[in-house]
Amino acid sequence: MNYRTIAETIVSELNHTLLSVSDQKAREFVDLVDAADEIFCAGAGRSGFQIRGFAMRLMHMGKKSYVVGETCTPNITENGVLVICSGSGSTKSLVNHAGKAKSVGAKIALITIDPDSPIAQMADVVVEISAPSPKSAKEGDIQSIQPMGSLFEQSEGLFMDASILMLMEKNHMDSDTMFGRHANME
Residue 75: phi and psi, rounded to 5, are -75, 150
- Helix, coil or strand: residue 38: strand
**CB burial readout 125-141, b (16+ within 10 A) else e:** bbbbbbbbbebbeeeee
* Burial category of 183 from C-beta neighbours within 10 Å (exposed 0-12, middle 13-18, buried 19 and up): exposed
Query: What does the chain come to in residues?
Result: 186
Distance CA 104, CA 124 (A): 14
Per-residue burial over 7-46, b if 16 or more Cβ lie within 10 Å, else e, is eeebeebbeebbeebeeebbebbbebbbebebbbbbbbeb
* Phi, then psi, of 115 in degrees rounded to 5: -75, 0
Catalytic residues: 153
Phi-psi sector, 141: left (phi>0), alpha (psi -120 to 50), beta: alpha
